Amino acid sequence: MSTSTDPGYFFQTSTSLAENDRKARKSSNTFGDPIKFPSKLLAISPNQYLNASGTSALVAQADGSTSVINISGGEIRRIGRSAQAPITCVTSYGGRLSFDNNATTQSVFAGGWDKYVTHFTLGQKGLEAASTVAQASFKAHADFVKCLLIAQTPDKQMVLLSGGADGDVNIWTFEGHRLACLKAQSRGVECIALDPFSNPESPRIFFSTSQREIYNFILPASSAMSGAIQISDPIIQHDTSVYKLEFDDDGDLWTASADKSAKRLVRENNFTADTTLAHPDFVRDIVIHGPSSLAVTACRDEEIRVWDTGSTQLMHIFSGHFEEVTGLALTGTTLLSVSIDATLRKWSLAPADLKKAIEDVKSPALLEEKPEPKNDFGALTEEEEAELRALMEGEESEALEKMARDEQ
């Protein structure tokens, strides 16, 4: 145990104090027009159903809440709270109930540390704020839920797919009845994505693991779920956890990984990488803006990087978050980012705005000394924060340590 006479004790304390001071100073910046939330933000999903202009998003929070935010106005409305445990993923599906008064309904699914998926049924009238009509939960995995996807089967049934830290991919009805379970023999499933270039009569689902593999399978008709679902041979293009899968307009697959890289896997070459975007730390997320030929990545070093997909050159870095960036979403030319610093920030990818941002960096000003947005809500305790970071980093650290041993 370290004591007051142990040099290591003073070193760790000094380092910790310096880091806390750095973050405190950086937290005062207003880059990206930060919107402050009650707790740390772990995931974001754009939502085109709750706002006619398509400027709303669903946000998963560490306090167990799922919220919807009006991006243009900044209003936050909590849909509901699943549990005391953090929510790690959120997705939604919506449709019109009737043509009278623009009445609509929407299903929102949130998965979290408690191993459950909560189904919120929302009602909306016109552009009024959504209200929670019903809420139900079901146990989805033996370990915490890491990712969710809604897809349509060949017989036109909507199903929910979930990936867990137990290494399983489960397929559910919206009511929580399990239709199938796929076992990838992995420590965890990180991301599930629908191949937009696959035939709707045989939709192909891709999923990535915490060990490095990417698999795919054909989603069968709901009536055939009880049969065996064949999982492909693994695609191996990374050294460890693949956090995100994102298809571009050409059908190529972009990936974000804990091996400190993002890659483009070319469809015509059996999803072999032809592009590698190197980063100084884990790459948590990636989104593609096809019209501008841009790839945007979120890194654990708090930065958001904008890349030219043609030249693979780094074009710009959006700085503002003062903790790890955990998720990205696109709505039009607006990029949304969320972080465990409990802020959502907005960045414009419109050509004129991005050009100005690049030019402004050439003559950078000091961070604005403005007060951090006030937060009158409760936050995670110090112990809960430590548990959150340990959970987010544990598997990756173990994998990287193994890689280092193998290289020696």
Note whether 189 and 164 are within 8 A (CB). Answer: yes
pLDDT value at 78 more than 60: yes
Question: What domains, with CATH codes, occur in the chain?
Answer: 31-367+375-407 (2.130.10.10)
Q: What is the pLDDT of residue 101?
A: 45
pLDDT in tens, 293-306: 999 999 999 999 99
**pLDDT above 70 as % of the chain:** 78
Q: What pLDDT is attached to residue 404?
A: 42
Per-residue model confidence (pLDDT) at position 339: 97
Q: Which of 403, 392, 88, 407 is nearest to 240 (CA)?
A: 403
Of 376 and 15, the structure prediction assigns the larger pLDDT to: 15
pLDDT at 112: 95
Average pLDDT over residues 164-175: 96
- What pLDDT does 55 receive? 74
Average pLDDT taken over every residue of the chain: 84
CA–CA separation, 272 and 135 (whole Å): 42
pLDDT of residue 335: 96
Residue 192 banded pLDDT, cuts 50, 70, 90: very high
Higher pLDDT among residues 375 and 306, named by residue: 306
Structure-model confidence comparison of residues 124 and 24, the more confident one: 24
* pLDDT tens column, 111-137: 999 999 999 988 765 334 556 666 889
Structure confidence by residue, pLDDT tens digits, 217-272: 999 998 888 777 999 999 999 999 999 999 999 999 999 999 999 999 999 999 99
- Across 10-19, 55-64, 311-320, least confident range: 10-19
Please, which residues have CB within 8 angstroms of residue 128's CB and are 6 or more apart in sequence? none
Residue 82's closest CA among 49, 60, 55, 51? 60
pTM: 0.84
Give Cα separations from 129 to 52, 124, 132, 214, 365 (angstroms).
12, 7, 10, 39, 39
Q: Tell how strand 213-218 and strand 204-209 pair up.
A: antiparallel
Q: Is the per-residue pLDDT at 75 higher than 90?
A: no
Q: pLDDT band at residue 405, thresholds of 50, 70 and 90?
A: very low
- Range of 13-22, 85-94, 245-254 with top mean pLDDT: 245-254
Q: How confident is the model at residue 25 (pLDDT cuts 50, 70, 90)?
A: confident
- Tell me the pLDDT band of 100, cut-offs 50, 70 and 90: very low
CA distance 96 to 46: 18
3-state secondary structure 11-63: HHHHHHHHHHHHHHHHCCCCCCCCEECCCCEEEEEEECCCCCCCCEEEEEECC
Task: Identify the burial level of 340 via C-beta atoms within 10 angstroms of its C-beta, where 0-12 means exposed, 13-18 middle and 19 or more buried.
Answer: buried
Q: At residue 372, does pLDDT exceed 50?
A: no
Distance CA 367, CA 365 (A): 6
pLDDT for res 224: 86
Residue 31 scores a pLDDT above 70: yes
